[in-house]
Chain A
Amino acid sequence: MKVYITASSAITPQNTFDSEKYLDVWQSSDLPYQLAIEPDYKSVIDPKLARRMSRIIKMSVATGNKVLAEADIGQPDAIVVGTGLGCIKDTEKFLREIINEEEGLLSPTAFIQSTHNTIAGQLALMLQCSEDNFTYVNRGHSFENALADAMMRIYEGADHVLLGGTDEMTSEVHNILTHMNCGGNTLLGEGACFFMISNTKIDGAVCIEGLDTVNYITTQQITERVKSFLRRNNVDTNEVDALILGIGEGLGDPYYKEIIQMFTPDIPVINFKEVTGEYFTASAYAFNVGSEMLRKQCIFPKILISGNNTSGLTKVLIYNHYQGVNHTISLLSL
């Protein structure tokens, strides 16, 4: 059985929410980390509901709503979200209040909104959706595990699953992650990407041919892992039309170098973290930009780091790793 992305939406530090202006004008920032360009939420979220929402919830609800509208699905069979740090801003607010109030009077809103599953829960409340509601919090594989769950639900008979990968950046998180060297050379970032994962191919749908995740693999093992993944999906390396990699600023990163060397020198190589920066669920955006490339049959020049596309795009390979620990391989096709 095939699994399709029938709609997708992304809010990132570049213009990606408005489909008409997708990656058209490049934004630069002087901040030490990348902040998402957020739309005017008043037109997408009921202001009465939005007043309690932190940025991550607003970004997620806006992209989730857009996906539901695009796919014309009122009630998905499940809502599955991956997030590395969840509603960290509200967690910070709640913890700060605990300290300031000496564990006394605490605001209930920050506490209620501080849990990781608030995002999927908020979407369910808005849709009055009582179907399964899951949140995966697994560091650099949070989105991938949510995606694997969504795919398995389709294999088991679900028609449509609303899937998301989302994280927000704050100055506190930036300071902590920088001390831990979690971004490498790449600026830390944030974003929300939502997808409708469906069992039926419709016009413009993109097929997720397969997904492979692995932890703690060496650079020597990565090429064999990718070859084996492609073999399982009956795809030869010369059938792959483009690579979507999470290189960021790590052009010398040995994992990405090994992957690029597996393919012909002129294969288009897309650096999706130019758009998102680095964060736990940045890989979700690889699926969004991959879908856009296949649907629009174009390669966005701002994120093309080498190669060129002379023929059409039919198959694109996604590879990302988070901190050299969580590795992701996937293949999208038209």
Chain B
Amino acid sequence: MEELKDNLKAAIIEALNLEDVNAADIDNDEPLFGGGLGLDSIDALELIVLLEKNYGLKIENPEEGREIFQSINTIAAFIERNKK
């Protein structure tokens, strides 16, 4: 699970081009949107693409996405729950 979270952080930093942010700077419980990393709606679209590309997981319900993208922990839990 920890390895998954580290990979996830690295993928997010690369996909969202988060300059000056290291994986160690992102707390697993830190909110990704609003405060924390300050991500926005375009980043949410990028995260949807990232989950489908890297993990083969689709998020079709926007309400579901709101829950899943709260933090690294929630995304990792979603991947673990749905991995094939």
Contact = CB atoms under 8 A, between A and B. Distances in A.
Given A105-B49, A106-B49, A51 B17 contact: yes
Contacts of B24: none
How many residues of B sit at the interface, in one of the four size bands?
10 to 19
Contact of B42 (A47, A106, A108): A108
Given A108-B45, A109-B42, A112-B42, A51 B53 contact: no
Among B15, B46, B49, B52, the one with the most A-chain Cβ atoms within 10 Å of its Cβ is B49
Contacts of B42: 52, 108-109, 112
Interface residues of A, number: 11
B46 A105 contact: no
B35 interface: no
Interface string A77-97: 000000000000000000000
B19 interface: yes
Interface string B27-56: 000000000001000100110010011000
Contacts of B59: none
Given A106-B49, A108-B46, 11 more contacts: A47-B20, A51-B17, A51-B18, A52-B17, A105-B49, A105-B52, A107-B49, A108-B42, A108-B45, A108-B49, A112-B42
Interface of A: 47-48, 50-52, 105-109, 112
Interface of B: 15-20, 38, 42, 45-46, 49, 52-53
